[in-house]
Chain A
Amino acid sequence: MNDLSDIHPERNLESNHQDSNFFAIIKTEYLKNLFKEYVLVIMLIGLYIIYQLIMIPYEKTSAKYLFDQIVFWFLFILFLLVHFLLLSYKRFSPTLVKFLKRELQVLGFKMLRKYKTGLSFFLFNSLSIIFLMNIGISYSPNYVVTSLNIRLLLIYIFLSITIPILRGILHDKFIIKLKSPYFVRLDLQCKLIKRKEVESRMIRIFMTSNKLWSKSSDSGFKIHKEISEKRWLPRKGMFTFSSYSLGLYLYFHEYSTPINFKDHFLNIVSAIRDWDTAIKKLN
């Protein structure tokens, strides 16, 4: 409760004036965090480039050196491209998160961070990398293979460190646990450039259920279709770089803006409840 007591109590989305205030605050916070994220990534890039310049293991004229550099830069640019696209697409706003927390509290639910286990993931990755590095260095008799191993592992380390940190600390992914094994995942988006949309539609909240059933099951597919139609749920969720977009499993998706968040959240929860009841009957 204490955590929520400092939430702007006067925030009222029904008033046009306060609407603008609310969206302006969120926009500023998004921009501020976007700037922080880019600085963080640029710092990491800088460090890595410095390391590359200092630790060149070959003669600069050799073909192996050139090949090594091509592989490295290709992977590196690919990584940057993915991360910059991802960072530009998703931004974080404490005010919006607090607002959603309060809305969910009214409904009796609690919002949790999706990547709360980031530290254990990071430690596990670090240990596995150290283990792999030792194998790579110790057991290869060829210096070139060892060197390449180290470079690939460095990229792996770089990815392993940045991905959990950026996604866990800075990204807008939250879950609301309902009843084991069911939960709803929230993905927040803010569009900074206003085009045709009205201001309230510039903040988007995408809701996705947990993995429900395999798509190959006819009975599951039929129940999912019936519930989706009854509850007017959209067929597809937002595109993410995760297994959610592979299309092998059934999920419920819902979409809302801050104004109608509570109603739409209850709608997806009710859909999951209907699903649970139907599946129990089926079994």
Chain B
Amino acid sequence: MTSFNDFIEKYHLDRFDEALELKSRDKIDFYNDLEAMLNTICRIFDKITTIFSLRGGQVLMSLAKLQGTEEIISKTDVMNSLNLDRREKLIHAFDFLLEHNFIEIKKKTSKFHMVKLNENDNPDFKLFREIVQKFWTSPEEEKNKSKLWSDVK
């Protein structure tokens, strides 16, 4: 099980008019699916914590988040999402992630590079993307929330 949404769908967890009844085989399946999902999360932890680039993990989080709202993501979008002031701060991270097949980059022009998570080579990224999109607040969102709050008298 590498998808949180599939898990919810399979057991109708978002349908509150139905009671969740798990008996014998279903209960075992449910437990196995849950365990498989936790296993996937653990693999994601392992991948992210061993990325040898200061902002590599942050770039992945940012891409996962942006993919929920944007069709086309550029390197500048990632930079803004992480509240960074210069693209040079992400050069090492992008190079590293590309080299290790974590991301795909399409160079449209010399300056405009489209970036996305490489889910084909890394199926675990599907669950990663779902969790990030559902629960993570990007630094840019955090900044906007704080600005909005501090501007209200």
User: Which residues of the partner chain B approach A259 to less than 8 Å between Cβ atoms?
Assistant: 54
- Interface bin, chain B: 20 to 34
Say yes or no for A226: interface residue by CB 8 A criterion.
Answer: no
Q: How far is the CA of A274 from the CA of B80 in the complex (A)?
A: 24
**CB–CB A12/B89 < 8 A:** yes
**CB–CB A276/B147 < 8 A:** no
Interface flags for B107-151 (1: CB within 8 Å of A; 0: not) read 000000000000000000000000000000001001101110111
Query: Nearest Cβ in chain B — how far from A11, in angstroms?
Result: 10
Q: How far is the CA of A178 from the CA of B84 in the complex (A)?
A: 21
Known: A263-B139, A266-B139. A14 touches B150 (CB 8 A): no
Further pairs besides A14-B88, A180-B153: 8, Cβ < 8 Å = A13-B89, A106-B83, A107-B143, A179-B149, A262-B139, A266-B83, A266-B139, A270-B145
Query: Nearest Cβ in chain B — how far from A59, in angstroms?
Result: 65
Q: How far is the CA of A254 from the CA of B153 in the complex (A)?
A: 25
**Chain B residues proximal to chain A, CB less than 8 Å:** 54-55, 83-86, 88-89, 91-92, 139, 142-143, 145-147, 149-153
Once A and B bind, how many residue pairs between them come within 8 Å at the CB atom? 48
**CB–CB B146/A269 < 8 A:** yes
> Which residue of chain A lies nearest to B143 when distances are taken between CB atoms in the complex?
A107
Count of interface residues, chain A, beta-carbon cutoff 8 Å:
19
**CB–CB B89/A14 < 8 A:** yes
Q: How far is the CA of A102 from the CA of B88 in the complex (A)?
A: 16
Known: A14-B54, A102-B85, A107-B83. A273 touches B146 (CB 8 A): yes
> Which residue of chain A lies nearest to B146 when distances are taken between CB atoms in the complex?
A269
User: Which residues of the partner chain B approach A180 to less than 8 Å between Cβ atoms?
Assistant: 153
Q: How far is the CA of A30 from the CA of B102 in the complex (A)?
A: 42
> Which residue of chain B lies nearest to A266 when distances are taken between CB atoms in the complex?
B142
